[in-house]
Amino acid sequence: MITFILPGYSPKNKDWAQDVAKNLKLGHDLRPVFWGHWDDPEKTFKPKEKAQDVIDILLKDNANIIAKSVGTFVAAYAIAKIPDRINKVILCGIPAVTNEKLEIFKKAFENFPAGSVICFQNTKDPWATYTEVKEFMAKVNPKIRVIEKSRSDHDYPYSEDFREFLA
């Protein structure tokens, strides 16, 4: 079993991914993914390609996914391709709840077991509020739990909640 940690776009998300990996202590392989554009601005970030990279790393193993911000789109693309190999999914800080993103999420989650997915969204996340994400996820799959966290930023330091869900 592997748990992939798919961070947001900004380089400061590297610290978030490392902190989550350090604090989870699940007894299996935790693999934070570091985006290439953080070190090389010439590299482009394409969520579909990053999803394929995750699938390639996974080989034939099963995985959990913890994803934040743009990492949630990478997760959705990967899950749409290999849903039977993904055990549990934690989504945090879903940004930009557009119709285009809705289609991506529907492909991944409308038939994925709702009890195996949880979403954490800060009340006043500047990229998308809890209310916006709650409405968005209701269109994706109304059975997926969306948990409101009382913060006004795009930080998701909820390792204890993550560990509880993945245990």
- Tens digits of residue pLDDT in 126-148: 999 999 999 999 999 999 999 99
Closest C-alpha to 7, from 83, 60, 68 = 68
* Domains present along the chain, CATH in parentheses: 2-166 (3.40.50.1820)
pLDDT digits over 52-81, tens only? 988 888 878 899 999 999 999 999 999 999
pTM as predicted: 0.94
DSSP letter at 94 equals -
Q: Average pLDDT in the 23-37 region?
A: 89
DSSP letter at 9 equals S
* Look-up of token digits 């940690």: 5
CA–CA dist 96, 101 (Å, integer)? 7
% the chain with pLDDT above 90? 81
Closest C-alpha to 69, from 149, 154, 163 = 154
